[in-house]
């Protein structure tokens, strides 16, 4: 009889622990509207601080490689940032959940920039009809970076 009760208690405890872990792991999509209305998609665990308690560390575009690209050519952007922090009595916490930020080319939507654990990157193809000269890429809340488009060698 006692062993039967112990077994049932162990099963019950296991179920309670499993349920609490699963509940804490529930993820919800949150749209955070920025001053210009562009919203990076963020996944935040229900067990951390609320989004209102977090501060954005926006993406900083560091490099376009190659720095000179031909129309229709492929290039890569790398950067850092793209995460959120919060402060409480224990210090500073970091939410390093992967995020996607809208990327703009000369003011027009161009693609998405992926950021995860302080690193941002993406590979892109320029439109074939882009004009030669200097162009600007930027992300919402983040920095901008210039690169050149050159036709021919």
Average pLDDT of the chain to the nearest whole number: 78
CA atoms within 13 A on the CB side of 54: 22
H/E run at residue 58 = none
Parallel/antiparallel/unpaired status of strands 99-105 and 91-95: unpaired
The answer, yes or no, to whether residue 143 has pLDDT greater than 80, is yes
- Give residue 140's pLDDT band: very low, low, confident or very high (50, 70, 90): confident
Are the CB atoms for 84 and 57 separated by under 8 Å? Answer: yes
pTM above 0.85, yes or no: no
How many of the other CB atoms lie within 10 Å of CB of 71?
Answer: 15
Confidence of residue 30 (pLDDT cuts 50, 70, 90): very low
Question: Which residue ranges form the domains of the chain, and what is each CATH number?
Answer: 2-149 (2.60.40)
Helix, strand, coil in percent for the chain, rounding step 5 = 15, 50, 35
Closest CA to 45 of 121, 98, 113: 98
Tens-place pLDDT, residues 59-101: 999 999 999 999 999 999 999 999 999 888 888 888 888 999 9
């Amino acid at each position: 009889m006692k062993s039967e009760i112990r077994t049932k208690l162990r099963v019950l405890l296991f179920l309670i622990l499993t349920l609490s872990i699963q509940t804490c792991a529930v993820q919800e999509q949150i749209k955070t509207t920025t001053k210009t209305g562009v919203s990076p998609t963020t996944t935040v665990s229900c067990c951390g601080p609320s989004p209102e308690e977090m501060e954005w560390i926006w993406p900083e575009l560091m490099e376009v490689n190659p720095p000179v690209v031909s129309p229709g050519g492929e290039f890569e952007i790398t950067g850092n940032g793209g995460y959120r922090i919060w402060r409480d009595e224990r210090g500073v916490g970091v939410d390093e959940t992967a995020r996607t930020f809208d990327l703009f080319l000369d003011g027009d939507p161009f693609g998405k920039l992926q950021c995860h654990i302080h690193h941002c990157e993406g590979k892109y193809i320029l439109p074939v009809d882009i004009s030669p000269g200097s162009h600007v890429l930027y992300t919402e809340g983040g920095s901008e970076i210039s690169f050149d488009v050159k036709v021919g060698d």
